[in-house]
Structure 1
Amino acid sequence: MGAPAVILASSTHAEELGGAFARYQAEYDVRLVRDEIAAKQVALDLLADGTQVALFVFDTDQPTERLHKLVAGTRKIVPTARRLLVAHVSQFFESNQTYRHAVTAGKVDALLLMPQGPRDEEFHGAVGEMLNDWNATVGTPYVESVRVISPERDPLTLSLLDYLDRVGIPAGLHHPDSDVAREVLARIPEDEGRWPVVESWKGWAGHCGSVRDLAVRLYGRPDEIDVDEVVDLVVVGAGPAGLAASVYASSEGLSTICLEAEAIGGQAGTSSMIRNYLGFPRGISGMRLASRARGQALRFGTRFYTGWPATALTAGSDGTPHVVHTDGGDVRARTVLVSTGVDYRRLGVDSIEALVGRGVNYGAAMAAARELAGEDVVVVGGGNSAGQAAVHAARFARSVTIVVRRPDLSATMSAYLVNEIEWNPRITVCGSSQVVDGGPDENGSLAWLELEDVRTGARERRDARGLFLLLGAAPECGWLPPELVRDENGFVLTGRDVPRELWVGDVPPADLATTVPGVFAAGDIRSTSMKRVAAATGEGASVVSLVHAWLELGTSHGPARTI
Structure 2
Amino acid sequence: MERDLRARYAERYQVYTASSGEQGLDLLRRLRLREDPVALLLVDQRMPGMSGVELLAAARKLHPDARRVLLTAYADTDAAIRAINDADVQHYLLKPWDPPEDRLYPVLDDLLQTWRPPPPVANLRVIGDRWSQASHAVREFLARNLVPYHWLDVETDAQARELLDVAQLDAGALPVLVLDDGEVLVQPDLQQVGARIGLRARAERPGYDLVVVGAGPAGLAAAVYGASEGLSTLVVECSAPGGQAGTSSRIENYLGFPVGLSGADLTMRAREQAIRFGAELLVPAEVVGVRRADPYTVVALQDGSEVSASTLLVATGVNYRTLDVPGAAGLTGVGVYYGAGRAEGVDHQGDRVFVVGGGNSAGQAALFLSQFAASVTVLIRGADLESTMSRYLVDRLAASEKITVEYRTEVAGALGTRRLEGLRLRSGTEERETPADALFVFIGQAPRTSWLDGVVRRDERGFLLTGTDLWTGAGTKPPDWPLEVPPLPLETSVPGVFAAGDVRHGSGTRIASAVGEGAMAVRFAHQRLSTR
TM class, shorter-length: 0.7 to 0.9
Q: Which of 178, 190, 193 pairs up with 1:214? A: 193
1:338–1:521 Cα contact (<8 Å) kept? yes
Instruction: Measure, in 1, the Cα distance between the counterparts of 2:353 and 2:105.
Output: 35
Residue type at the aligned position of 1:259: V
The match for 1:305 among 279, 282, 295 is 282
Which amino acid letter does the alignment assign opposite residue 193 of structure 2? L
CA-CA distance at 1:82 after TM superposition: 7.9
Secondary structure of residue in 2 paired with 1:479: helix
Alpha-carbon distance between aligned partners in 2 of 1:234 and 1:124, rounded to the nearest angstrom: 37
User: 1:450 corresponds to which residue?
Assistant: 424
1:531 to 498, 509, 531: 509
Letter in 2 for 1:324: V
> 2-side partners of 1:17 and 1:374: how far apart?
43
Alignment-derived partner of residue 447 in structure 2: 475
Instruction: Name the amino acid aligned to 2:316.
Output: T
Q: Distance in 1 between matches of 2:243 and 2:229?
A: 24
- Quote the sequence identity (%): 35
Q: Whole-Å Cα distance in 2 between the matches of residues 540 and 497 of structure 1?
A: 18
> Structure 1 residue 95 and structure 2 residue 63: aligned?
no
Q: How does 1:19-168 map to 2 (within 5 A)?
A: 34=21, 59-61=44-46, 86-87=70-71, 92-96=73-77, 98-103=78-83, 105=85, 108-109=88-89, 110-113=91-94, 141-142=119-120, 145-150=123-128, 152=130, 154-168=132-146
Are 1:367 and 2:343 an aligned pair?
yes
State the distance in 1 between where 2:236 and 2:63 align. 38
What is the alpha-carbon distance in structure 2 between the residues aligned to residue 336 and residue 211 of structure 1? 26
Distance 1:42 1:377 in 2: 36
Q: Which of 396, 403, 410 is the aligned partner of 1:434?
A: 410
2:466 to 494, 501, 504: 494
1:86 Cα offset (Å): 3.8
Residue correspondence of structure 1 range 43-442 to structure 2 within 5 A: 59-61=44-46, 86-87=70-71, 92-96=73-77, 98-103=78-83, 105=85, 108-109=88-89, 110-113=91-94, 141-142=119-120, 145-150=123-128, 152=130, 154-174=132-152, 194-200=173-179, 205-217=184-196, 218-222=198-202, 224-226=203-205, 229-317=206-294, 319=295, 321-328=296-303, 329-440=305-416
DSSP-derived class of the 1:389 partner: helix
Q: Which amino acid aligns with 1:196?
A: P
Secondary structure of the residue aligned to 2:79 is: helix
The answer to whether the 8 Å contact 1:56/1:81 transfers is no
**How far apart, CA to CA, are the structure 2 residues paired with 1:401 and 1:127?**
37
Deviation of the 1:533 alpha carbon? 0.9
Unmatched 5+ stretches in structure 2: none
| Equivalent-residue separation in structure 2 for 1:517 and 1:216 (angstroms) | 35
- Are the counterparts in 2 of residues 376 and 397 from structure 1 also a CA contact under 8 Å? yes
Native 8 Å contact 2:17 2:24 kept in 1: no
How far apart are 1:128 and its partner, in Å?
Answer: 8.2
Q: Residue 323 of structure 1: CA displacement?
A: 0.8
Counterpart amino acid of 1:462?
T
Mapped partners of 1:46, 1:336: distance in 2:
51
Match of 1:452, SS state, is: strand
Query: For 1:418, what is the secondary structure of its paired residue?
Result: helix
Contact 2:457 2:465 in 1 (8 A): yes
Cα distance in 2, alignment partners of residues 283 and 257 from structure 1: 29
Change (3 A) 1:33 1:352: farther
Indicate conservation of the 8 Å contact 2:60/2:87, yes or no: no
The answer as to whether partners of 1:104 and 1:416 remain within 8 angstroms in 2 is no
Aligned-partner Cα distance in 2 for 1:451–1:397? 20
Q: SS in structure 2 opposite 1:446?
A: coil
- What per-residue deviation string (whole Å, max 9, x for no partner) do you get for residues 183-210 of structure 1? 7996x79799832222445885422433
TM-score by length of 1: 0.78
Whole-Å separation in 1 of the counterparts to 2:37 and 2:414: 34
Cα distance in 2 between the residues matched to 1:537 and 1:448: 39
TM-score when normalising by structure 2: 0.82
Letter in 2 for 1:484: V
- Partners of 2:12 and 2:269 lie apart in 1 by 28
How far apart, CA to CA, are the structure 2 residues paired with 1:190 and 1:404? 45
In 1, distance between residues paired with 2:79 and 2:35?
32
Task: Report which stretch shifted further, 111-120 or 409-418.
Answer: 111-120
1:241-289 Cα distance to aligned partner (Å, 9 max, x none): 1111111111111111111000011111111121221222222211221
- Specify the code of the residue in structure 2 equivalent to 1:99: A
Per the alignment, residue 462 of structure 1 pairs with 434
2-structure distance, mates of 1:148, 1:368: 15
After TM superposition, the structure 1 stretch with the greater mean CA deviation from structure 2, 349-358 or 497-506, is: 497-506
Question: Which amino acid is 2:189 matched to?
Answer: S
Deviation at 1:118, TM superposition (A): 11
Tell me the number of residue pairs that the alignment of Structure 1 and Structure 2 aligns.
Answer: 520
Compute the displacement of 1:375 (Å): 0.8
